[in-house]
Structures are given as structure tokens and as C-alpha cells.
Amino acid sequence: MPNWCNNTFELVAPKQKIREFEKFLDDNSGKDWFDFFAPCPQELKDVGNVSFHEEPKEGLLEKYGYSDWYSYGLGEWGCKWNCDAQDWEVGEYDENNLSINFWFDSPWGPPEALYQSINEGKFGEDLNVFAEWHEEGMAFVGRFQYGESENYEYSDLDSLDEIPEDLLDNWNIREMLEEQAEWEEEDEEDEEEALEELKNELEQIEIPEEVAKETKKWPN
């Protein structure tokens, strides 16, 4: 099983495009939302289990630029599996545009390649992605805005200085690490108390006189 990356996604686009996207999500219950922009060809899906020790199926690489669904996902989306949108909402943005927002989970990391293609106009003009992500297992956080990605790694409270405060707030990272630090401190205190109790118990054990005499005879 992969580590799951938590994502928020906002698309700002002309009203007709947003309504088309909304209908796609409604009709498919949010499933496989990447397909609205870059659906994986059925022939690549039909490859099934991918083995890197086998020769690729003849003709697929020349036809699609990819030999299987796995390489297509990494190349076109930026993650190996399609993802399901959750709780989408459409709102007014300005006179000509609407926005659509939702959250989703993705395997290992965000679909940055798809974001880049959307912003570059590959699927229509005037489409703008604003996305954020957090992968707690590998301890990284980031965002995509105005055509650029930002990624930040963290390990402890001291490592947060280079991360924008709004990202930390949106994902409650500082609070999470503060709680972890408190748990670790409590665990250390519990271990010290347990060792002290064991030491006291051992000191209270009376060694029989015969055993003590024999112990003194042992060579150093």
C-alpha cells in the first residue's frame, strides 16, 4: 500500500468549462477525475500488471508515447493511479470565471504533471490551478499556484522556518509536531520513572548471606 497524500484542489476557469467539469464529477460520483483532462487510453489499461523485466507490448510506445498505464500515469498525471474527487463545490470567481473546489487523496504525492499541463493550456485556455498537498508519512508539504510548484520537507519544529506560515496553518503541521514533541517528552519521563522504580526495587532485594559470600569469591 502507498502512503496517501492529502490534496486540496481549486480550478478557476471560464464558466462553461467549470460547468462541464462539474457535470463530469456529478455523472461519475467524482471517480477518476483526471479523466476529464487526460484519460488513460484503454489499450494501456489493458496491459494489466506491469513488469519492468518484460518487453513492452509492440506498437503502444509508438502510438501513445507510453507502453502501459503505469508509465502513462507517472508521465501525464505525476502519480501512478487516478484519483477520486470529494465534496466538490462551484462558486463565483469573477465576471467571466467560476471556481470549483474539492479534496482528494493520491498515492505517494500530488499530480503535479497534470497541474502543469492544465495551466499551460493543454486542455483549454484560461485554466488556472491552485492546489495544496501534505504527505505526513514522508513529511512534506507543498502547493501549486501561478504555474509553479513549491515543495518543502520537515522533520521537527526547527525545520519549519523555511515553510510559508499559511501552508503550516492550512495543514496544522506546527500543532502536529508540538503534540509529537510533547508525547516524546512524556515517553522519556515515563521511561526514566520506570528505570528509577526498577532500580529501587533491586536495591530492596535482600541477597542471602551464603550467596553474598560466594559472590565475593568470584574473580574480578
Where are the domains positioned within the chain?
A: 4-171, 177-217
- Does the pLDDT at position 92 exceed 80? yes
E strand or H helix that includes residue 153: strand 148-153
- The neighbour count for residue 36, using CB atoms within 10 Å, is 17
Q: What's the CA dihedral at 83, 87, 93, 96 to 10 degrees?
A: 60
The residues, ordered by sequence, that sit 6+ positions from 126 with a Cβ below 8 Å of its Cβ are: 13, 14, 97
Q: Tell me, what's the pLDDT at 33?
A: 97
- 40-44, 107-111, 202-206: which range is least confident on average? 202-206
Portion of the chain with pLDDT greater than 70, in percent:
88
Residue 106 has pLDDT above 90, yes or no: yes
Helix (H) or strand (E) holding 173: helix 173-204
Average pLDDT over residues 191-218: 69
Give the pTM: 0.80
Mean pLDDT of 187-212: 71
Give per-residue pLDDT as tens, 7-54: 999 999 999 999 999 999 999 999 999 999 999 999 999 987 876 656
